[in-house]
């Protein structure tokens, strides 16, 4: 029978929790829920793991390194209330230390959308289980209802939020050290993600890594040197650079539902364990390597080219040169920006049987997943910046694809703005379709003019034609492409 006990925090708070016979248990901790399930109390499986270094690390993580707590309240430097609230949704960050009945931590419960409901699967009883990434990125997908799987658009959205969260960790000088499908929750229905198991963060020079990571996400240089003595200078430990390998693997899995390194190539005949270690370590090879096809599956659907040129380049960097040379891996910021730019080129596929439902319409409107021609269902804007050294010359900086009722924001009209958690999301204009005609509706944008220097004032709609040029007061040239 479940009973309620009291945990006492370092500050003296008394927090009730429900003790059950088989609490959820991970590699390092087991978990009890609050009576109202608004928070959890976690204790360590091995009491020796809760040593002085662990306690010191957790207190620092809860305090001065905490992006979910404003600087005014003792959290991370530069974090205001709005940023703290934003990142509280991106991380399941420990909020307090428990000192009695034993050492442990208090964490907020995951938001409801990260738990499966009763309709998640007809085959498995998933009700109440958390949505760890591996449910959606492997053969496990076949057990889930289609309503749980999301689409190409939500896969990119999950990836953007994950890259942004990892970027925030790295900007603070932290590394997760065990970024994996077990420690990232995703909700493909909404495109949401949340990083968990924060209490083992690496702080270089202060708190070294406690774990090597999870199979399939450990960087090759860590796998290849695991057998070396811990004091051997050649041994590689988890860091921000190894996080970047795991981040690339997760993004690849979200988009393509397969692992980027696990293919048919055999790298050792001695044992399955040795082959696995070599395949993920010193002999790791991208299954889509452009020149070495020895690890390529016989059937490879939806290659990196289907994700558009921006993401294709990032994947190739991450899993070719960056696979063995950590300094060449794309940073979390590069992933975030590349994903955002790719997201803005999404077009909805009109084929109702297309499982991906969206695609990157970078060059044309033919869906690369199902072959459906979606011409005429969206327009493309090319954005150019003035070249300061050559007056009158412009260079293209990005493009977006807009369908009916597509919004336009500050970063579309002002050079140098990249949308992130701090960016103003006030609607400045939007695109609408009326019959076969396309219009831009200026909501709040001042200084927008056409190629004849005619002012397009706020509150008005203007018909767009193929090749039409618009200029923003911030110096951005916008060319309309209607195909």
CA dist., res. 308 & res. 72, Å (int): 42
Across 22-31, 172-181, 290-299, 392-401, least confident range:
22-31
- In the block, residue with structure tokens 């706020």: 458
Strand 192-195 relative to strand 346-348: parallel, antiparallel, unpaired? unpaired
Average pLDDT, the chain: 92
Torsion sign over Cα 65, 66, 70, 74:
negative
Query: Residue 34: pLDDT above 70?
Result: yes
- Per-residue model confidence as pLDDT tens digits over 405-441: 999 999 999 988 889 999 999 999 999 999 999 999 9
Report if pTM > 0.85.
yes
Q: What's residue 49's pLDDT? A: 66
Task: Find, among 35, 12, 28, the residue nearest to 96 by Cα.
Answer: 12
When pLDDT is averaged across residues 108-135 and rounded to a whole number, the result is: 90
Sheet hosting strand 460-464, strand order edge to edge = 406-408, 429-434, 437-442, 460-464
Q: Is the pLDDT of residue 365 over 90?
A: yes
**Alpha-carbon distance 44 to 171, whole Å?**
29
Q: Does residue 254 surpass a pLDDT of 80?
A: yes
Nearest to 169 by CA among 200, 123, 211, 128: 200
Query: Which pLDDT does position 203 carry in this prediction?
Result: 79
Cβ neighbours, 10 Å, residue 142: 9
Say if residue 192 is preceded by a cis peptide, omega within 30 of 0: no
Instruction: Read off the pLDDT of residues 233-243 as tens digits, 9 standing for 90 and up.
Output: 999 989 999 99
The structure tokens listed for 386 are: 């003035």
- The domain made up of 379-482 has a fold known as Tumour Suppressor Smad4 (2.60.200)
Instruction: Provide the pLDDT for residue 119.
Output: 85
Judged against a pLDDT cut of 80, whether residue 212 lies above it is answered with no
The predicted pLDDT at position 409 comes to: 96
Mean pLDDT of all residues in 10-26: 90
Say if residues 166 and 332 touch (Cβ distance below 8 Å). yes
- Indicate the burial class of 138 (C-beta count within 10 angstroms; 0-12, 13-18, 19 or more): middle
- Please compute the mean of the pLDDT values over residues 284-303 and round it to a whole number: 94
402 pLDDT above the threshold of 90: yes
Q: In Å, what is the CA distance from 395 to each residue of 44, 65, 380?
A: 56, 40, 16
pLDDT at 1: 60
* DSSP codes, 355-396: SS-EEE-SS-SB-TTT--B-TTS-EEEEEEEE-TTSTT-EEE
- Cα 110 from Cα 38, distance rounded (Å): 9
Q: What percent of the chain has pLDDT over 70?
A: 99
Q: Which two tokens stand for residue 275?
A: 């082959």
Distance between CA atoms of residues 290 and 60, nearest Å: 44
**Residues 161-178: what's their mean pLDDT?**
94
Residue 47 has pLDDT above 80, yes or no: no
Interatomic CA distance for residues 228 and 250, integer angstroms: 27
Q: What is the mean pLDDT of residues 378-405?
A: 89
Q: Where are the domains of the chain?
A: 3-109, 116-343, 379-482
Estimate the crossing angle of helix 332-343 against helix 152-171, to 10 degrees.
150
Which DSSP state fits 109?
Answer: P
Dihedral (Cα; 131, 132, 136, 139), 10-degree rounding: -120
pLDDT at 244: 98
Please state the rounded mean pLDDT for residues 370-396: 89
Q: Return the pLDDT at 453.
A: 86
Q: Average pLDDT, stretch 343-372?
A: 96
Token pair 């658009």: residue: 153
- Say whether pLDDT at 360 is over 90: yes
Does 3-109 match 116-343 in CATH topology? no
* Structure confidence at residue 25 as a pLDDT band (50, 70, 90): confident
* Dist CA 203 CA 183 (whole Å): 18
Cβ contact 198:91 at 8 Å: yes
Q: The domain at 3-109 falls in which architecture?
A: 2-Layer Sandwich (3.30)
Does residue 391 have a pLDDT over 80? Answer: no
Please state, for a pLDDT cut of 90, what percent of the chain lies above it.
Answer: 72
Q: Please identify, in words, the CATH class of the domain defined by 116-343.
A: mainly alpha
Region 63-82: mean pLDDT is 92
For residues 327, 328, 333, 338, the Cα torsion angle rounded to the nearest 10 degrees is -170
Rg (CA), the chain: 25
């Amino acid at each position: 029978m479940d009973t309620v006990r009291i945990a006492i925090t370092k500050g003296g708070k008394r927090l009730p929790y429900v003790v059950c016979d088989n609490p959820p248990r991970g590699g390092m901790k087991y978990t009890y829920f609050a009576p109202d399930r608004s928070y959890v109390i976690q204790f360590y499986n091995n009491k020796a793991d809760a040593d002085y270094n662990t306690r010191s690390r957790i207190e620092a993580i809860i305090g001065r390194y905490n992006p979910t707590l404003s600087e005014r309240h003792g959290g991370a430097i530069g974090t205001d209330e709005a940023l703290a609230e934003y990142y509280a949704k991106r991380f399941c960050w420990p909020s307090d230390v428990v000192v009695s009945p034993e050492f442990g931590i208090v964490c907020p419960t995951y938001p409801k959308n990260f738990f499966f409901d009763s309709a998640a699967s007809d085959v498995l009883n998933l009700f109440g289980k958390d949505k760890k990434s591996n449910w959606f990125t492997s053969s496990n997908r076949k057990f889930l209802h289609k309503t749980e799987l999301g689409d190409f658009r939500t896969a990119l959205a999950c990836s953007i939020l994950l890259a942004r969260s990892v970027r925030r960790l790295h900007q603070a000088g932290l590394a997760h050290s065990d970024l994996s499908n077990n420690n990232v929750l995703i909700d493909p229905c909404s495109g949401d993600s949340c990083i968990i198991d924060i209490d083992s963060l690496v702080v270089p020079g202060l708190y070294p890594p406690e774990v090597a990571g999870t199979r399939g996400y450990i960087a090759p240089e860590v796998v290849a040197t695991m057998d070396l003595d811990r004091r051997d200078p050649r041994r590689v430990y988890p860091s921000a650079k190894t996080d970047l390998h795991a981040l690339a693997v997760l993004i690849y899995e979200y988009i393509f539902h397969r692992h980027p390194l696990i293919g048919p190539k055999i790298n050792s005949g001695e044992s399955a364990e040795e082959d696995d270690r070599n395949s993920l370590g010193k002999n790791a090879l991208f299954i889509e390597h452009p020149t070495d096809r020895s690890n390529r599956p016989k059937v490879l659907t939806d290659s990196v080219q289907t994700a558009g040129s921006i993401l294709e380049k990032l994947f190739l960097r991450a899993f070719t040169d960056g696979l063995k040379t950590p300094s060449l891996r794309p940073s979390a910021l590069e992933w975030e920006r590349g994903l955002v730019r790719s997201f803005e080129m999404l077009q909805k596929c009109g084929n109702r049987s297309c499982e991906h439902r969206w695609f990157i319409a970078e060059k044309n409107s033919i869906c690369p997943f199902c072959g459906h021609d979606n011409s005429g269902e969206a327009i493309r804007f090319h954005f150019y910046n003035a070249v300061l050294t050559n007056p009158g010359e412009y260079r293209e900086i990005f493009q977006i694809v807009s369908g009916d009722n597509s919004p336009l924001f500050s970063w579309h009209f002002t050079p140098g703005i990249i949308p992130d958690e701090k960016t103003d999301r006030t609607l400045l204009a939007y695109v609408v379709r009326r019959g076969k005609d396309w219009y831009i509706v200026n909501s709040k944008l001042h200084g927008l003019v056409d190629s004849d220097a005619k002012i397009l004032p706020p509150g008005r709609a203007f018909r767009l034609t193929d090749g039409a040029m618009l200029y923003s007061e911030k110096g951005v040239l916008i060319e309309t492409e209607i195909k």
